[in-house]
Structure 1
Amino acid sequence: MKFLTWKKIAYKIFIKNTVFIALLAFNKVVWANCDSYAITLDPTSKFATSLPANALIPGKPLFSNGSSWVINGAREYVFDMRWGGCKGNIIGMGRAYADSLGKKVPNVYYSEGDRVFDVFDTGVPGIGYAVGIRDYNEGLDKEIPLQPHTIQTYPYRGSSGDWVNTIGYRVRLIFVATKDSLKSGKYVIPSQFIANFWARSNLESGENTPPDAKLLFLSTTLTIEAQGCEYTSPEHQVVKMPAINRNFNNHQSDRYERNFSISLMCDPNVSVYATMTDVNNPDYVGNILKPSPSSVAKGVGLQLFKYNDKTPINFGPDSPHKGNINQWYVGGGSNTPERSYTIPFKARYIKLPNESDITPGEFQAEASITFSYQ
């Protein structure tokens, strides 16, 4: 009897220990975490000599020759639920998303074909970025532009839409101009988190998915030597016009004119354009420079001619933007060496329309010239 009792007790102890060990191993597998990994964009410093000083186009790639400064990043497994230690590995992920962490630049967009990208602020005035995200195994035709609101990155157009236990991404960051001018100098673009990736499982509760992952852009330096011209004439020129009498008529204008000139020294490969502006009426687009408010003489104005043209210059807004109203070509181009320009002008009196008489006194009028380096 004692022998039988001892065997029964030993048997019970053996079974109990076996169950206890198995439960410990099972609990360890169930409660392990799923994996997620950040994507880091690590650009090299850039040296640019081809940027025009004041004729960039907001929304266009940063370099004037049409090329793009693009930073590429990729990770095959941003979210990974394959391992037995991931509680949701059998359930899988059914949806994935990205949120922008940057500040959108108002009214500036970058376009590639039929895709339009929002542009975000780098923290450096005049320089923004656009971001495209696509599945790790897909081409550019499946790329999704990052937007100021949440975008869905899985399922994406052309995907199966089935549950998956891994999701990876390829990312492009394109630097974009956000204003029409950048001065020469060194620009340090700071490190910043620019997007947050997150996923949800096929469970309605959205539980059992990996933690969020970040898209990180590391600091880089852009050194710019902007192409442009140096203005070599006096900044303020006073053109002393001859005296006229109150009986002046326009057919006498050739007798009452004065010549002056403006000079520039320009870098190689620069196309130079100019706009003449009526300082006292900057929105004026006609061809008569009218007296300033301080002028005592009334009833007469000036017309300005360049290069001995027979047609007077039309005035336009004070802007270096390409295609500005009444902007005209001075010279230069993509294969032009460093060179100087001297632009001859002629100022000539003209009696103002609808003015019956001329008021005697000192005459003053003011014009400015704005050069655009394209």
Structure 2
Amino acid sequence: MRRGRSIMPACNQRSINRCVVMKILKIKSINSIVLVFLIELTIEISAQSSVLACGFFERGNSLFVPWMTVRSGVTDRGSILGQWSNVIDQGYSGRACPANTVVLRRASLFRVPSGLIINDGGENYDVYPTGINNIGYYMRLLGPNNIGITFEQDVFRNAHDANFVRVQIKYVATGPLNPGVYTLPGRHVVSVQWRVISNGAEVFFINRASTYSATRVTVTGGTCSVLANDQNQQVVLPTVSASSLQGVGSTAGSQGFTIGVNCPAGVALHATMTDANSPANTSNILTLAQGSTATGVGLQISATDRAHVVSYGADSRVAGNNNQWFVGGNATSPPTNHIIPFTVRYVQTAAAVQPGTVRARSTITFSYQ
């Protein structure tokens, strides 16, 4: 048997990544010629394609928060709506990157913060507009080691190091919400640019935007109401002598009053008292108003079923407001008429007490949770 000539087509290794080489062997036999085809593949890998093999990845393509239902009584500026969305991960995997490759990351916003800052879980977040009045959103952006992302900042990392961005959103009320259904359209929230640089030259660039999907907020109309006769009360304390106060912190004279609140089923009622003369006051002493001539005294208010006097807080119905306290009720409560008993009394605030008239004003804000 005599082997014939091999036939090898030309291969252009510069312009193609795959080259097919065919060899034809002629074999003589007694009555026939048998053609045997041997296929060989030659794959070209250039330096640039090696860099591109460093893998960009993305898990999840849209942020979504399930439909939310809240009561109108608990939706005020700063009230958090719903839960955190699902997570979108995007980043650059550098396991296949050459040693001299770096990745640049830059996160950019689509809109300007509203000015409202929310504290959630001990972290502060800027709030951005959704396009729907009194509803905004905030974002949790984390990088490797759960380090927060700074916007409009170029971050360089060795391509072999972990490099990713994790995005979530949550909605928040930026003002009071009346009963009704609010449909939030989807929109872009953040874009992240990724640049791969090898030997000082950019060899790859991608700009990926994260978007949240449309969702809905339903605000129910079930609210509580204060009894008409209790809405504007004037409480008159008894006259006491200055000598009945025996030192700073001592008390004298008292007068009781009640406030009645009717609530529908399923409401947990909370309350905050505010010093109308000094709204920033968070102590348990009510400051004196204009027209008072006595000095060295103040007023304390306590709920008679409470072990301590009331401390004052901001005039806000937001859940967890400073010095807010629980009145009663829960998600399974029937319709309830809450009668809240209070006692107000004089308290000495300075070493010297000057007799005179005492006037003070307080408001109470109820939160339906």
TM range (shorter): 0.5 to 0.7
Contact 1:268 1:339 survives alignment (8 Å):
no
With over 3 angstroms needed to count, the CA separation of the structure-2 counterparts of 1:119 and 1:239, relative to structure 1, is: closer
Report deviation, 1:343: 0.9
Q: Are 1:70 and 2:85 counterparts?
A: yes
Runs of 4+ residues deviating >6 angstroms: 22-26, 32-40, 55-58, 89-93, 104-107, 178-182
Residue of structure 2 equivalent to 1:366: 361
Return the structure number with greater relative CO, CA threshold 8 A, min gap 6.
1
1:175 aligned onto 2:169? yes
CA shift at 1:183, angstroms? Answer: 3.7
Q: Any conservation in 2 of the 1:70–1:172 contact (CA below 8 Å)? A: no
Which moves more between the two structures, 101-110 or 186-195?
Answer: 101-110
Post-superposition offset of 1:192: 1.8
Match of 2:61 in 1: 41
TM-score (norm 2): 0.58
Aligned equivalent of 1:163: none
CA gap 1:156/1:224 in 2 versus in 1, 3 angstroms: farther
Is residue 100 of structure 1 aligned with residue 112 of structure 2? no
CA drift at 1:194: 1.0
Q: Name the residue aligned to 1:15.
A: none
Following superposition, the deviation at residue 303 of structure 1 comes to 3.6
TM-score, normalization by structure 1: 0.58
Matched ranges for 1:165-314 at <5 A: 172-176=166-170, 183=177, 186=182, 188=184, 190-192=186-188, 194-204=190-200, 206-207=201-202, 209-225=203-219, 229-234=223-228, 236-241=231-236, 244=239, 250=244, 257-265=255-263, 268=266, 270=268, 272-293=269-290, 295=291, 298=294, 302-307=299-304, 312-314=309-311
| Higher percent of residues as helix | 1
**Structure 1 residue 217: deviation in Å?**
0.8
What CA distance in whole angstroms lies between the structure 2 residues aligned with 1:232 and 1:43?
A: 41
In the TM superposition, what is the alpha-carbon distance from 1:48 to its structure 2 partner? 1.4
More strand by share: 2
Task: Pick from 339, 342, 349 the counterpart of residue 342 of structure 1.
Answer: 339
90 and 172 in structure 1: CA distance in 2 versus 1, 3 angstrom threshold: closer
SS of structure 2 residue aligned to 1:237: coil
TM alignment of 1:1-20, pairs within 5 A: none
CA drift of 1:368 comes to 1.1
- C-alpha distance in structure 1 between counterparts of 2:78 and 2:116, whole Å: 15
1:155-185 alpha-carbon deviations (Å, 9 max, x no partner): 354x6xxxxxxx9x7x653224678987465
Aligned-partner SS, 1:69: coil
Any gaps of 5 or more consecutive residues in structure 2?
1-9, 17-43, 246-250
Q: 1:150 to 1:201 in 2, by over 3 A?
A: closer
Q: Determine if contact 1:277/1:368 at 8 Å carries over to the other structure.
A: yes
**AA matched with 1:259:** F
Distance 1:70 1:53 in 2: 21
| Cα shift at 1:335 | 5.3
The alignment of Structure 1 onto Structure 2 pairs a total of residues equal to 308
Q: Is the 8 A contact 1:275 1:370 kept in 2?
A: yes
Give the aligned residue type for 1:150: D
Equivalent position of 1:128 in the other structure: 138
